[in-house]
Amino acid sequence: MAQLQSGAAAPAFSLPDQDGKTVNLSDFSGKKLLLYFYPKADTPGCTTQACSIRDAMPDLSGLGIAAVGISPDEPGRLRKFRDKYDLNFHLLSDPDHGTADAYGTWGKKSMYGKEYEGIIRSSFLLDEQGRVIRAWYKVSPKDTVPFAREALEAK
């Protein structure tokens, strides 16, 4: 799993959102983007992470930052998740994990002694040209927004 470093060009993506509409990385050109990968919609950690981003969106939008979450979930499940928690940003479906592979967020995990492959919870702050400002792999759900804010203040 190759990890992206600060200054790297973010891999392009073209994925369906919760409504089946195609969303591309290039759609965010001219804006900063908080992009995060999460394992499964409507699970405790993923809900904590999504709701913290939802709650921070007024401040993030004021700073010219958009947000997008990516998981292997199908659009219908993403729509239910978005509606249930009134999420105010796109959730994208990556069932073949091609985008997750490109960002280095798909890999070996273990739970209760059993190994499997899946999403490694990670987040990225991208600049207006789609370059990585900062990348956080194995990020805690509660740290996504604070880490992004710290990165902006440091820049």
Identify the active-site residue in 34, 46, 65, 67.
46
CA 51/CA 13 separation, integer angstroms? 24
CA 82/CA 101 separation, integer angstroms? 24
Domain around 89: 14-154
* pLDDT tens per residue, range 27-44: 999 999 999 999 999 999
Q: Within a domain: residue 41?
A: yes
Q: Within a domain: residue 52?
A: yes
Which residue is listed with tokens 């002694």? 113
Res 2 pLDDT > 90: no
pTM: predicted TM-score of the whole model, two decimal places: 0.94
Mean pLDDT calculated for residue range 56-82: 96
* pLDDT tens per residue, range 79-127: 999 999 999 999 999 999 999 999 999 998 877 888 888 999 999 999 9
CATH of the domain at 144: 3.40.30.10
Q: Are 36 and 124 in contact (CB under 8 A)?
A: yes
CA 35/CA 65 separation, integer angstroms? 10
Q: Within a domain: residue 1?
A: no
Backbone angles phi, psi at 128, to 5 degrees: -65, -20
What is the total count of domains within the chain?
1
Q: Are 154 and 59 in contact (CB under 8 A)?
A: no
Q: Within a domain: residue 4?
A: no
Q: Within a domain: residue 5?
A: no
To the query of whether residue 51 is one of the catalytic residues in this protein, the response is: no
